[in-house]
Copies of this chain bind each other. A is one copy, B any other.
C-alpha cells in the first residue's frame, strides 16, 4: 500500500485548522488568503485542498466544532438542583470554557455572516439550544423565588452578553486569575439575577 507511520496527514490536517483559526481571528475570514494559511503551515496553497473542499468548509468546521464541543461538554456537567448553586455552576462552566478558546469565541460571533445560509442555520440552531439552557435555568429560579428579574428573556441575553464579553479583555497572565474571575462573576451574576433581592 503506502505510508501509514510517518505520514504527514495527521500533522498537516490539524496544523491547517489551527493556522486558519489564528488567522481568521486576527484578520477576519474574508481578509485571509489560502496562501497565508499555507505559508503558516509550511506548505503550498494547493496542499490545503487535500484536507478541506474549500475555504468555506474551513470556517464552518471551526464554528461547528466549537458549538458541538460546547453543547457536548455542558451535557456532561452535573448540574445542582438548587437554582443559585446551578447559576454558580453555569457561570463557572461558561467562563472556563470560553476563556480557554478566545479565538473560537471571537470568530463564532464575528464570522457568522460569512457562512453560507445553510451553514449559518446549522450554527444558529446550536446557539439557540445553548441560549435556551440559560433561559430555562433563569425561569426555574424565578419560579422557585430564588431569582428576581424584570424579564427572564432579557436577563438571559444580558447574562450571556456580560459573561461572553469577558474574552474581550481577559488575559490568562493579567492581574486576575481565572479562579478570581469566576468568583467575581458568580457574585455579579447573583446580583444581576436578584438573588436575595428584597421582594
Contacts and interface: CB of A to CB of B under 8 A. Distances in A.
Given A188-B149, A191-B194, A192-B192, A113 B154 contact: no
Interface in A139-172: 148-151, 154-155, 157-162, 164-166, 168-169
Contacts of A196: 197-198
B30 A28 contact: yes
B187 A150 contact: yes
The prevalent SS among residues of A at the interface is helix
Chain A interface residue bracket vs B: 35 or more
A115 B53 CA distance: 31
B191 A197 contact: yes
Contacts of A183: 150
A27 interface: yes
A194 B184 CA distance: 13
Contacts of A198: 196
A151 B184 contact: yes
B28 A154 contact: no
15 contacts: A28-B28, A28-B29, A28-B114, A30-B30, A30-B31, A150-B184, A150-B188, A154-B176, A154-B188, A157-B165, A157-B168, A158-B162, A161-B165, A162-B162, A162-B192
